[in-house]
Amino acid sequence: MVSQSEKAFVMEIGEGDNFAEMYTVDVQDYQNLKETEDRATDVLLCLDSTLDTVSTIKDMYRRAVFEPDAPSEEHMEDEILFALKEKERDIAYSRQKVLSLLSKAQNTRALVGLASTLFTYPTSNSLGFIAS
């Protein structure tokens, strides 16, 4: 059984004096958010590495296939270069989504940490803590 001091109650405020929903947040939720942050950071590292690899392959292929003295190398493109550029865009898009998830997890974890800190103090100290 988890003691009351290890839990925080978070309420979503609705219109007027109504509370839309009430959530219970405990230490396990905080740890789950930290694990999500760690996994997102690992995924970002993998995506960055993959993007570097695809970019290198694309550049090496372009240099090997198209002669260096070609008049307009930027306009010369075949199916392989097209596919590599498309993969670069896909990886960059995935990276943005992971960054967004990471930001949400960090902000939520900070909010959970603040809520649990506020609930460990008596009510008058909590209001003083919020003000500072």
Query: Would you tell me how many other CB atoms lie within 10 Å of the CB of residue 21?
Result: 9
Mean pLDDT within 57-71: 79
Query: What pLDDT is stored for residue 25 in this prediction?
Result: 64
d(CA 51, CA 74) in angstroms, rounded, equals: 20
**pTM exceeds 0.75, yes or no:** no
pLDDT bin (cut points 50, 70, 90) of residue 99 is very high
- End-to-end Cα spacing for the chain: 34
% of the chain at pLDDT higher than 90: 38
- Determine contact, residues 105/36, Cβ cutoff 8 Å: yes
Dihedral sign from CA coordinates of 43, 98, 50, 52: negative
**b/e per residue, 98-129, with b = 16+ CB within 10 A?**
beebbeebeebbeebeebbeebeeeeeeeeee
